Amino acid sequence: MHRVFLFLALCLFQLNAAFAAATGAGGVDVTLQAFQVAGSGKDAKLMPTTRALPGDTIEYQVTYRNGGTTPARQIKAVLPVPASGMAYLAGSALPAAVEASLDGKTYAPAPLTRDVMREGRRVTEVVPVSEYRFLRWDLGDLPAGAAVTVKSRMRLAGAPAQP
């Protein structure tokens, strides 16, 4: 059975780099956790994981904790969408007011749209969520000693594994 690793260390590195670039805040620790989602709806269970099979749904949870003695200002929580075949599941982001990016530089409220030319006419179309590479939340100020968690679910591309 072929397993695909989620590269959590790489994702955490990208997460910390994106956080530092976005906020410049000192004293804020960032923790990333990944959970395999078993079941659906209210009966869904989360199990810690570092790998996934094609078709698996993974919930990423990122906790920002201010261990400093002063508030961290204008925190923007960033969650990279792993480029290893993972795709964001629309509507799964919490808090729900999420921005998305295709390049990690330009963000807009989800769902993203773009203008394209169709039969000589400019039309606006929704960008497929499979193209999203980053999610971002504006958390505002984070008081000293406080923590906040953002989360989103993603699915590994491919058909579910057969027993």
pLDDT tens digits for range 119-141: 999 999 999 999 999 999 999 99
| Number of domains comprising the chain | 1
Domain assignment of residue 119, yes or no? no
pTM of the model: 0.81
Average confidence (pLDDT) per 10 residues, the chain, 163 residues: 44 50 64 90 89 90 92 91 87 96 94 93 94 94 95 85 46
CATH number of domain containing 144? 2.60.40
Domain assignment of residue 122, yes or no? no
- Structural domain of residue 91, as residue ranges? 4-97+132-156
pLDDT tens digits for range 71-84: 999 999 999 998 77
In whole angstroms, give the CA distance from residue 12 to residue 32: 6
Domain assignment of residue 68, yes or no? yes
Domain assignment of residue 59, yes or no? yes
User: Per the omega criterion (within 30 degrees of 0), is the bond before 95 cis?
Assistant: yes
Domain assignment of residue 109, yes or no? no
Residue 134 neighbours by CB under 8 Å, 6+ apart: 18, 78, 79, 80, 81, 100, 101, 103, 104, 107
